[in-house]
Amino acid sequence: MPCKKHILIIILTGLVIMASAQEIALDEKLFEQVEKYGQAEVVFEYPGYDQLNEIGRLIPVAKLEEGMVYCVLSASDINAFLSLNLKFKVIPREPGKAVESAMSVEEAMKWDLYPTYGQYDTIVHKLANDYPFLCRVDTIGESVEGRLILALKISDNVHEDENEPEVFYTANMHGDELQGFVLMLRLAEHLLMNAANGELEQALVDSLEIWINPLSNPDGTYHRGDTITYPTRANANGTDLNRNFPDPLNPSIVPDVENVAMIDFMRSRNFVLSANFHSGYEVLNFPWDRWLSKIPADSVWFYNICRKYADTVHQHSVAAYMDSYNNGVVRGAVWYQIQGGRQDYVTYELQGREVTVELDDTKETPAAQLPLLWDYNYRSFLGYLENAFYGIHGKVVDGNTGEPVGAKIFVVGHDKDSSHVYSDPHTGMFVRMLSPGTWNITVSAPGYDTRAVNGITITESQQEFITVKLTGTSSVTDPPGENKLRIWPVPAANHIFLDAGKFTGSRLSVSIFNQSGMLVHEMKDLFVEDNKLEINISHLSPGYYIISLTDQGGRNYTGRFIR
Ligand SMILES: [Zn+2]
C-alpha cells in the first residue's frame, strides 16, 4: 500500500506537546478506549535506543516509525505505561469501515472480503475435504476463550509423516493485524489448486511438508464475536503474544495459553524454515530481535532470503511498497529491540530459521485491497519456501546397524549462538541451509565418535546431500567430493544429471530407493562415456529419492534428489 507515514508525521508533530491539565484528560481517554475497545493505541516521541529498550521491557512496543513510537496497550499495560511519565497522544480508534465481512463462504473465497469466524473455520475444513490426499487439518491447541487454533498440513501423501523438510507459516498473532490470515488461506488454496501443474507449487507440495496456521490469535481477531469488529492486538488475557515466548534475557516471561500450545506444536514437529506474518509496517525483519551487538551466524543467509522475498515483491508492486529500511529488509534489533519474540525463540531454541514479515503499513487493510496485497506477495510466499530445498541435506545413521541417529550438525568456524542443527532421531535426516561457499561440518552424537566432513561446497539454489555413518570406534563417513554425488536440477522433472567425471570408462550399478528405503529402480552395467550421466526418472512418482551408485571397484556413492 502507498505509505502514509509522511502525512502522519506532520499531523503528529503538532500533537505531542502536552500540558499537564490535558494529561489527566488523556489518562481518562486511555482508560475509556481500553474499556470500549479492549485496547488503546498511543504514540510518543522516540526517546533513544536504550530508553526505548527499557520501555519495551514494561509495555509492548508495536513499532518505531519516523521518530515516533507506537504502542498498543491492553488493560494490564496501562499502569506500567503511565508510570513512565511519557508525553503521549492517544490515537482515536476508528471503526475499520473498510473491513467488510463476506456473506458466505463462496464470497469469502473470492478473497476480497474478510471471512467471519464461522466462515474461516468452514474454509479450513473445506480445503481439507476438497483435497483429501493433499491437505489435512490439525489442531495446535485452544485459545483463552476456547477457540481452536488450527493448522493446515499440505503435502503429497499428507496423512503420512514423510522424510521431507517441514516448513511453517503463521499469521495474525497480533489479532488486529488482519490481512495475514486471508492471504494464508488463499495460499493454501493456491498450493492445492496448483499441486499438479508441474511448476514450483508442485515441487513444494511434493517435496516439503507445508504447515499453515492462518490465525494464531483468534480471540484477538474476533474480539467482538463472529465478524471482525474492533479486533485486538493482544489475546483475551491482554497478552502481546509476540512478547511472550521464553527469552534468556527475560526469565520472568511465562508463555500464555496460545503460546504454550504453539510451543508444544512446534516442538512436536521439526520445522527447518518458517515465517510469521504481521502488519503495521512493510518490511522483513530477521533475527536477532533481542540482541543488537550479536550478529547471527547466518546473518548473510538471512539477509539474502529476505532480500529475495522483497525483490520479488518489488517486481510486482507499486513503487512505495515494502521499501522501509534497507529496501524492505532489516535485522530486528537494528529497528528496535524486543524480548519474548517468536522469531528469536524459534531460531535460538528450536534450531529453526524464522523471519517476521510486515505486510502492510495499514494494520486493517481494506477488504477490497486484499487481492492487491496477494498479488504483491504470493510469488514470494512460494519462493521463500523453496529455500528449504537448498544447502546441506543429509542423513545420519549408525555405521553398524544403519539405524537413524539424532546428531548435532555443527558448521566449523561458523556456528555460534545456537545456530547448529540436529538430525531427526526418527529419520536421521537434517537440513542445514547455508550461503554459497565451502563448509566443514562435524557430526556428533552421544555414544559415537564425532565425525568431520570437510569441503562441502554449496552453490546458489543447489542441494548437497551427504550420508554420515557414525560408529563408536572408526569412521565410515562418506567424504564429500569422493563418495558423494552432485545431482541436479533440484527439484528434477523427468531427468536427473550426475557429475560422472570420475566414473568415465566405468560400468556402474545404479539403485534408486524411495524414502521408505524400498528399491524402486535399478540399472546394471551402465557404461559411462562422458562427464555427465543422465538418468530418466519420468516413471517415478514425485518425492524424495536416494540414489546409490556402485562402480567396478566396488566403491559406493550416494546422493539424493527430489522429483
Ligand atoms: Zn505484529
Domain of 552: which CATH number?
2.60.40.1220
Mean pLDDT, residues 541-552: 78
Do 407 and 477 lie in a common domain?
A: yes
Give the Å distance between the CA of 339 and the centre of ligand 1: 14
- Nearest CA among 536, 533, 532, 506 for reference residue 521: 536
- Nearest CA among 453, 434, 534, 544 for reference residue 490: 544
- Nearest CA among 153, 143, 275 for reference residue 216: 143
Tens digit of each residue's pLDDT (9 = 90 or more) over 485-501: 777 777 788 888 887 66
- Report residue 546's pLDDT band, with 50, 70 and 90 as the boundaries: confident
pLDDT over 70 (residue 481): no
What pLDDT score was predicted for residue 550? 78
- Report residue 539's pLDDT band, with 50, 70 and 90 as the boundaries: confident
Higher pLDDT, 69 or 14: 69
* CB contact set of 113 (below 8 Å; sequence gap of 6+): 100, 101, 102, 107, 367, 370
Give the Å distance between the CA of 174 and the centre of ligand 1: 5
pLDDT over 70 (residue 502): no
Do 68 and 30 lie in a common domain?
A: yes
Give the Å distance between the CA of 365 and the centre of ligand 1: 14
Do 232 and 276 lie in a common domain?
A: yes
What pLDDT score was predicted for residue 497? 80
Q: Which residues belong to the active site?
A: 358
Terminal Cα distance for the chain, rounded: 38
Q: Hey, which residues does 457 pair with through a beta bridge? A: 438
With vertex at residue 88, the alpha carbon angle to CA 85 and CA 89, rounded to the nearest 5 degrees, is 150
| DSSP character at residue 368 | G
Mean pLDDT, residues 148-174: 96
| Residue 295 in domain | yes
Do 394 and 361 lie in a common domain?
A: no
What pLDDT score was predicted for residue 96? 66
Buried b (16+ CB within 10 A) or exposed e, 120-131: bbbbbebbbeeb
Question: Considering 484, 519, 550, which residue would you say is the last residue of a domain?
Answer: 484
pLDDT over 50 (residue 158): yes
CATH number of the domain that residue 476 is part of: 2.60.40.1120
Residues in the chain: 563
Do 66 and 196 lie in a common domain?
A: no
| Residue 158 in domain | no
What pLDDT score was predicted for residue 559? 76
Lowest pLDDT segment from 86-95, 143-152, 161-170, 262-271: 86-95
Tens digit of each residue's pLDDT (9 = 90 or more) over 418-443: 999 999 988 999 999 999 999 999 99
User: pTM value?
Assistant: 0.80
Give the Å distance between the CA of 479 and the centre of ligand 1: 45
Range among 29-43, 148-162, 549-563 rated most confident: 148-162
| Residue 163 in domain | no
Give the Å distance between the CA of 189 and the centre of ligand 1: 24
pLDDT over 90 (residue 348): yes
What pLDDT score was predicted for residue 11? 45
Give the Å distance between the CA of 166 and the centre of ligand 1: 24
What pLDDT score was predicted for residue 246? 95
Lowest pLDDT segment from 144-158, 205-219, 387-401, 514-528: 514-528
Give the Å distance between the CA of 284 and the centre of ligand 1: 12
What pLDDT score was predicted for residue 561? 79
pLDDT over 60 (residue 254): yes
Tens digit of each residue's pLDDT (9 = 90 or more) over 90-109: 998 877 667 899 999 999 99
Instruction: List the domain range (segments joined by +) for residue 382.
Output: 105-148+170-389
Mean pLDDT, residues 231-251: 95
Do 266 and 123 lie in a common domain?
A: yes
Do 86 and 175 lie in a common domain?
A: no
| Residue 30 in domain | yes
- Nearest CA among 171, 218, 134 for reference residue 354: 171
Give the Å distance between the CA of 294 and the centre of ligand 1: 23
Give the Å distance between the CA of 130 and the centre of ligand 1: 32
Tens digit of each residue's pLDDT (9 = 90 or more) over 309-337: 999 999 999 999 999 889 999 999 999 99
Average pLDDT for the chain: 89
pLDDT over 70 (residue 504): no
Give the Å distance between the CA of 125 and the centre of ligand 1: 26
3-state secondary structure (DSSP) of residue 28? helix
Question: Considering 333, 362, 389, which residue would you say is the last residue of a domain?
Answer: 389
Give the Å distance between the CA of 358 and the centre of ligand 1: 7
- Report residue 21's pLDDT band, with 50, 70 and 90 as the boundaries: low
What pLDDT score was predicted for residue 479? 42
- The number of domains in the chain is 4
Do 275 and 373 lie in a common domain?
A: yes
Tens digit of each residue's pLDDT (9 = 90 or more) over 198-236: 899 999 999 999 999 999 999 999 998 999 999 999 999
| Residue 285 in domain | yes
Do 46 and 136 lie in a common domain?
A: no
d(CA 77, CA 41): 11
d(CA 47, CA 205): 47
Give the Å distance between the CA of 488 and the centre of ligand 1: 39
Torsion on CA atoms 77, 82, 87, 91, rounded to nearest 10: 40
CATH number of the domain that residue 24 is part of: 3.30.70
Range among 29-38, 91-100, 126-135 rated most confident: 126-135
Give the Å distance between the CA of 374 and the centre of ligand 1: 18
What pLDDT score was predicted for residue 276? 98
Do 463 and 345 lie in a common domain?
A: no
Mean pLDDT, residues 117-138: 98
Do 395 and 356 lie in a common domain?
A: no
* CB contact set of 276 (below 8 Å; sequence gap of 6+): 170, 171, 173, 242, 342, 343, 354, 355, 356, 357
Do 263 and 312 lie in a common domain?
A: yes
pLDDT over 50 (residue 78): yes
| Residue 97 in domain | no
Cell 567396478, located at residue: 552
The percentage of residues in the chain with a pLDDT greater than 70, rounded to a whole number, is: 90
Give the Å distance between the CA of 359 and the centre of ligand 1: 10
| Residue 157 in domain | no
Lowest pLDDT segment from 59-68, 436-445, 475-484, 531-540: 475-484
| Residue 223 in domain | yes
Question: Considering 427, 452, 484, which residue would you say is the last residue of a domain?
Answer: 484
What pLDDT score was predicted for residue 18? 45
C-alpha cell belonging to residue 317: 508492486
**Beta carbons of 219 and 236 less than 8 angstroms apart:** yes
* CB contact set of 450 (below 8 Å; sequence gap of 6+): 442, 443, 444
Mean pLDDT, residues 287-291: 96
* Sign of the alpha-carbon torsion through 173, 242, 324, 2: positive
